[in-house]
Amino acid sequence: MQVRRPSLLLSMILMFGSSGSSQTRPDFSGRWVLVDSINTPADLPRSMSVQQPLVTKNRLGQPMPPTYFKLTIERYFVAGSRTEEYFIGTQGGVVTVLPPDYARTNRPTPQTRVAVRWDGDRLVIDTGSYASSKREDGPYTERTEMWELESPGELRVTINDRGSAMASTSSTAMYQRE
């Protein structure tokens, strides 16, 4: 049953549409290359390939206002690549699967949370890893990425990182469409 919930939620969003996303939102699709790759931290991708399909029909095949529901990002780092898929306008998470004897230890269950939303013309991706269901109950890390187009060929990504065992940091990376 739990496996079907994300599919059911996505089906409902695609069937009924969403007033939060529309064609007037920016399309980040394309290949993006970091402008200053020499003076940037190694944890920033040197390039990204982004897919952001525009949906114009609901699950029943009926026309609907053009909407962006999904964002797929392939990030290319110095040490390799990573692909991530996000559903715009949703919140979700993963509760770590632990061995059966873990529950008897009364330790908290680690969790990961993701939320993706529009803030005007900016796309905001919030991610977090937590030692338990509450942020205050143990070690945690959080990241907020804000994506905005400076011009049709320039992407600004502002990243804010914070956590229980680290100082909060903020950085901005500029990418050009290739």
Number of folded domains that form the chain: 1
Q: Are 52 and 40 in contact (CB under 8 A)?
A: no
Range of the domain at 82: 4-177
What CATH number is attached to the domain comprising 117?
2.40.128.20
Residue 4: both structure tokens together: 């079907």
Per-residue pLDDT of the chain (178 residues), as tens digits, is 333 334 433 333 333 344 444 457 999 999 999 998 667 777 899 999 999 999 999 999 999 999 999 999 999 998 899 999 999 998 877 655 656 665 556 666 788 899 999 999 999 999 999 988 778 888 999 999 999 999 989 999 999 999 999 999 999 999 999 9
The CA–CA distances, whole Å, from 114 to 58, 78, 89, 124 equal 24, 25, 11, 11
Q: Which whole-number Å values give the CA distances from 12 to 5, 16, 100, in the listed order?
A: 10, 6, 34
